[in-house]
Structure formats: structure tokens, C-alpha cells
Amino acid sequence: MRLNEAQVAEYREKGYVLVPGLLSSEELKVLDVAVGDLARHDGPEVARERDGTPHVVYGVHLLDARMKALSRHPRLIGPAEQLLGDKVFVHQSRMNAKQMGGAIVDWHQDFGTYHRVDGLPEPKGLMISIFLDEVTACNAPLMLVPGTQHAGIVQEAHVNEAAEDHAQAARYRYDIPLATLDRLVRTHGLEAITGPAGSILFMNMNVVHGSTVNITPLRRVIVYFNVSTVDNRGETFARPPYLAARDFAGIEPLGEDCLTRFPTTMNEPVEERRDA
């Protein structure tokens, strides 16, 4: 699959493009079963809310056969290679479940962590976001500051030890101070990314983004694959493999039926984690 000229132009200007309805209802059913299995996983890959429910599961393409297939889906990899101009590898994957009353994700750039902590030299990568639920203005959508991929890495960003989730994800996240965010939003504006289940967002890893708490009973599950070009691999290994890749081989896409070959009504065991 390839994006059309208008979609590529939108990505170049804003730093992201949302493509609605890329996954079918049958594919979403397969992934929903995988979400249920991953929610029962118990290991260091799982970050939890205060009540113990899973908030994020990292390394999902290493844990689950269906997520591994999704990471090689041609409707993800084709546009990624088109936008980046090269083969890609998965630097990090995760499943984020925004349940009612869950944690916020403060304003940041993914490249802020990937460069400072993991040693990726350049922001030659994408955050690919797969909407497994409808995302509306009500259930804590991603909010993005368009055009900030052109602003470079935000130097004022810092690890916030007072962040609610500092003991988990935020210990590696470089949050952007309010004064800097205010300047960026005044210059570039602000957009909430909404769309039906099955939509896929392709976003440059330097775009400033965040999300607030979900105060509705409407679930919002998004699967993320952060990919980088094969010539832009991590150079330090401070974080475990489920947070930062060790396998830098370019992804070979699977066939269009890579998800529909899995069952949609019975649970399939998650794969044993591999440090790869």
C-alpha cells in the first residue's frame, strides 16, 4: 500500500497523517482477542495504574504472535517505507489502554527519549498508532502540535521526577515545560486526533504530543509501533529489549491475510518473550 500525494503532503507539512479505516472489522476482532491476552500478562513489560490494572504493555511484538504479524502488516510497512525512504525496524512497541480514570501522558517528543537514552542519532522514524477503538473528543485522544517536527529536539525538556508515572514510563520521558509548550502551541496550533476503529496514524517521532486522563467509561486502546530507518539504529543499550530494540533488521512485510489467519473467538497463548 502507498499513500496518495495529498496524504504525503499533509505528513510533510504537519508531521503526521491519519488514514481512517485501514484495518477491517475482522482484523480488529483478532487484535481485540490479543489485547485481552496481553492484559493478563504479568512481567516487567507491564506498567500498571494505581489500582493494579494494566495501563501499558511494552514489547507487544515480542510477546504475541498477532502483534508481531501486525508489526509486519503491509498496510503499516508500505506507508512507513514510503514516508521515510528506507527499510525500517521496530524500535519500540506498546499497547496503551486508556481506561476510565487512568494516567495522563505529559507533553513530550518520542525522539527526546530515543536520542538521549537509546542513542538514535536522528529523528528518522515514525510513531505508528493503530486505533483498536473509536477515538473521539471524549475518550482522551492524542493531542499533537502540528509542524513541530521542523523545530528539532526541544532542549528545555527534562525528566520530571514529580510526574505521577515517574516510577514507570516517565523515568525515561523528557517532559516539555509549560512555558515551552505555550510557545509551541501559540506558533503551531494544537489538534486532537480522532477517528474510527481501524484508523492508523503515521507521525514523525519529533512531533510534540500528549494525552489527558480518560474520564469516560469508553475504552480507548491504541497499539503503537515506533519504527526507525535501518541506518538509524540505537547506539546505547541502557534500557531492556522490550523498551529499545536489539534487532535492527529491516522488516519484510507479510501478506494481506497476516491477521485474518488467526482465530477471533478463542484465546491464543502469548509467545514467550525473546530478547531480540
Instruction: Using alpha carbons only, give the angle 225, 148, 162 rounded to the nearest 5 degrees.
Output: 75
Q: For residue 246, is it within any domain?
A: no
What's the CA gap between 82 and 48, in Å, rounded? 36
Answer whether residue 39 is part of any domain.
yes
**What does the DSSP 8-state code read for residue 230?**
T
pLDDT band at 251 (very low <50, low <70, confident <90, very high): very high
Strand partners, 129: 201, 224
Domain of residue 179 covers 10-229
The enclosing domain of 79 has a CATH number of 2.60.120.620
**1 within some domain:** no
| pTM of the complete model | 0.93
Examine residue 267 and state whether it is found in any structural domain, yes or no.
Answer: no
pLDDT per residue as tens digits for the range 112-160 = 999 999 999 999 999 999 999 999 999 999 999 999 999 899 999 888 7
Residue 236 counted as domain residue: no
Q: What value, to the nearest 5°, has the Cα angle with vertex 121 and ends 119 and 122?
A: 130
What is the per-residue pLDDT across 96-117, written as a single tens digit (0 to 9) for each? Answer: 998 887 778 899 999 999 999 9
On whether residue 274 sits in a domain, the answer given is no
Give pLDDT, residue 49.
78
Number of domains in the chain: 1
Task: Find out whether 221 and 35 touch, Cβ atoms under 8 Å.
Answer: yes
Q: What are the tens digits of pLDDT across the range 34-47?
A: 999 999 999 999 98
Domain membership flag for residue 37: yes
Q: Is the pLDDT assigned to residue 274 strictly greater than 50?
A: no
What confidence tens digit (pLDDT) does each residue in 158-194 have?
Answer: 887 665 554 556 678 889 999 999 999 999 999 999 9
Q: What would the grid cell of residue 201 be?
A: 496514524
- 60-84 confidence digits (pLDDT tens): 999 999 999 999 999 999 999 999 9
**268 lies in a domain?**
no
Cell of 37: 491476552
Residue 26 carries which DSSP code? H
| 3-state SS assignment for residue 183 | helix
